[in-house]
Amino acid sequence: MKRNTPNFGKNLAKIRRAIRSFQTPAVTQVAQKSRDPFRVLISCLISLRTKDEVTDIASSRLFAKADTPAKMLRLRESEIAKLIFPAGFYRTKARHILEISRTLMKGYAGRVPDTLEELLKLKGVGRKTANLVLTVAYGKPGICVDTHVHRISNRLGWVKTKTPEQTEMALREILPKCYWIPINDWLVTFGQNICQPVSPWCSQCPLEKDCPKIGVKYRR
């Protein structure tokens, strides 16, 4: 059964105004500098379980050495790990980066695929990363749902789901397509600075009066 459809236009306009003074997510900054799908893909992998400031530095350091699959394969796994340190799980990510680069060279002529199905075949790539590549690198319709999008969508009562994948599917049913691509940037920035996981800044939230605050125990 579908829930009552919220006024996304009004709500998202308020969120956009509230986040204007905050820095955009690191992967978005990479995309703004270059729409290169490989850079977006690798930056997104580095960003998992990693703070934005670390992602930005680590990605820049790595791309200064290798910014294509072919160049990446010239580096040793230990070199990649050192370049992206202290990103979370940097050793595992270094291995995945090499495996992905090898797969791209062998199966895709060095090109990052532009379909969800093919992206999900790459080592270490889940729906969040795949959708991010599709949306910010290729400009194709998709909804990238990370922990912030999942949490905020449930907290506001837009959806009632238990996992990010369920949230993605639920939002696909109710969210107007004009918001599919930008909603991740907006809610990530909003979630990092205002609608935080623990003790959110409800006093600074433009949706405070209408928000049901589902799951919120403490707030500021």
Tens digit of pLDDT for each residue in 71-83?
999 999 999 999 9
Q: Is the pLDDT of residue 28 over 80?
A: no
How far apart, in whole angstroms, are the C-alpha atoms of residue 87 and residue 104? 23
pTM for the full predicted model: 0.90
For the CA atoms of 99, 101, 107, 111, the dihedral, rounded to the nearest 10 degrees, stands at: 150
Q: Is the pLDDT of residue 27 over 80?
A: no
Average pLDDT over residues 142-146: 95
What is the pLDDT at residue 4?
A: 64
Are 207 and 164 in contact by the 8 Å Cβ rule? The answer is: no
More confident residue, 167 or 28: 167
What is the pLDDT at residue 3?
A: 53
The overall average pLDDT reported for the chain is 94
Q: Name 151's Cβ contacts closer than 8 Å, sequence gap at least 6.
A: 191, 195, 197
Q: Does domain 26-137 have CATH number 1.10.340.30?
A: yes
What is the pLDDT at residue 32?
A: 74
Q: Is the pLDDT of residue 35 over 90?
A: no
What is the pLDDT at residue 18?
A: 96
Q: Is the pLDDT of residue 1 over 70?
A: no
How far apart, in whole angstroms, are the C-alpha atoms of residue 155 and residue 157? 5
Query: Catalytic annotation on 146?
Result: yes
Catalytic residue (choose from 121, 128, 209, 210): 128
More confident residue, 138 or 25: 138
Query: Catalytic annotation on 128?
Result: yes
- Percentage with pLDDT > 90 across the chain: 88
Q: Does domain 8-19+143-204 have CATH number 2.60.120.10?
A: no
User: Whose structure tokens read 């290798």?
Assistant: 66
> What are the tens digits of pLDDT across the range 166-219?
999 999 999 999 999 999 999 999 999 999 999 999 999 999 999 999 999 999
Catalytic residue (choose from 52, 56, 146, 185): 146
What is the pLDDT at residue 89?
A: 96
Per-domain residue ranges for the chain?
A: 8-19+143-204, 26-137
Q: Is the pLDDT of residue 90 over 80?
A: yes
Amino acid at 166: Q
Average pLDDT over residues 137-160: 96
Average pLDDT over residues 140-153: 96
Task: pLDDT band for 26, please (50, 70, 90 cuts).
Answer: confident
> What are the tens digits of pLDDT across the range 46-70?
998 899 899 999 999 999 999 999 9
Q: Is the pLDDT of residue 121 over 70?
A: yes
- Burial (CB count within 10 angstroms: exposed 0-12, middle 13-18, buried 19+), residue 192: middle
- The alpha-helical segments, DSSP class H, found in the chain are 8-18, 26-33, 37-47, 52-65, 69-72, 77-84, 90-107, 116-119, 127-132, 147-155, 164-174, 183-193
